[in-house]
């Protein structure tokens, strides 16, 4: 933005105007308002703030529809064979599903959870709420949900976790055996 015309301002005016800061801190709430209005107009695809807010629920709904009773019951009422392992899911700083659409992510999480149910590995699955109280601490970070699965050993439970879309998108999963 350079003037090709002779400057019509005096040197003094130019110096004063040049001293004005070109940037001022925009109100912090403005970004959210802009993003919401653009999303409403179809000009921005909303990113899931945390995958659990919808993908988790959608995955559980899908499992319910496919015959898996939500909660700590299994299909047919029989517990899957083998020791149980807890898969603790954290979003963590690395979680980034990129530009994938919400529908694609729901389908991926649902397919993964559905496979666990069909293979009779799923013992229980729950989405956890956002409220948290940490006693003692420090906490590793907010747990967003868990799966309780049946596996031959820790290595197989870890392989199940690695096969999840959550791991694929950089989310953190802690695998722990249930002490029997």
Partner 1 sequence: MSAADADRALVTRYLDGRGERAFRALYDAHADWLWAFALRLTGRREAEAEEVCQDAWMAAARHLDGFRWESAFRTWLGGITVNCWRRRLRKGSRDEAPLSGHERAPPAHPAGTVDLERALATLEETQRAVLLLYGVYGYRHAEIAEHLGIAVGTSRSHLSRAREALRRALANGRLGEEIHR
Residue whose CB is less far from partner 1, 36 or 72: 36
Distance CA 112, CA 119 (A): 11
Q: Report in angstroms how near the CB of residue 90 gets to partner 1 at its nearest.
A: 20
Pair type for strands 84-90 and 172-177? antiparallel
Residue whose CB is less far from partner 1, 15 or 132: 15
Is residue 53 a contact residue for partner 1 (CB under 8 A)? no
- Of these, 6, 27, 77, 137, which contacts partner 1 (CB under 8 A)? 27
Is residue 39 a contact residue for partner 1 (CB under 8 A)? yes
Q: Report in angstroms how near the CB of residue 162 gets to partner 1 at its nearest.
A: 25
Q: Burial letters for 97-133: b for 16+ Cβ neighbours within 10 Å, e otherwise?
A: beebebeebbbbbbebbbebbeebbbbebebeeeeee
Helix (H, G, I), strand (E, B), or coil: what is residue 154? helix
Distance CA 68, CA 110 (A): 12
Residue whose CB is less far from partner 1, 35 or 88: 35
Residue 78, token pair as written in the block: 């029989």
Q: Report in angstroms how near the CB of residue 3 gets to partner 1 at its nearest.
A: 6
Residues that bind partner 1 (CB under 8 A): 1-5, 8-9, 13-14, 16-17, 19-27, 30-31, 33-35, 37-39, 41, 43-47, 98-99
């Amino acid at each position: 933005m350079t003037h090709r015309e002779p400057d019509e301002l005096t040197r003094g005016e130019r110096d004063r105007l040049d001293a004005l800061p070109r940037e001022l801190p925009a109100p912090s709430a403005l970004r959210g308002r802009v993003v919401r209005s653009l999303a409403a107009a179809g000009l921005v695809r909303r990113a899931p703030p945390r995958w659990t807010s919808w993908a988790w629920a959608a995955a559980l709904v899908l499992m319910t529809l496919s015959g898996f009773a939500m909660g700590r019951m299994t299909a047919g009422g029989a517990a899957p064979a083998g020791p149980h392992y807890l898969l603790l899911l954290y979003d963590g700083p690395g979680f980034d599903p990129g530009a994938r659409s919400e529908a694609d992510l729901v389908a991926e999480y649902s397919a993964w959870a559905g496979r666990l149910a069909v293979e009779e590995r799923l013992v229980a699955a729950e989405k956890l709420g956002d409220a948290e109280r940490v006693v003692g601490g420090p906490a590793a970070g907010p747990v967003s949900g868990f799966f309780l699965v049946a596996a031959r050993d820790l290595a197989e439970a870890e392989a199940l976790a690695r096969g999840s879309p959550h791991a694929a998108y950089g989310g953190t999963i802690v695998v722990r055996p249930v002490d029997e």
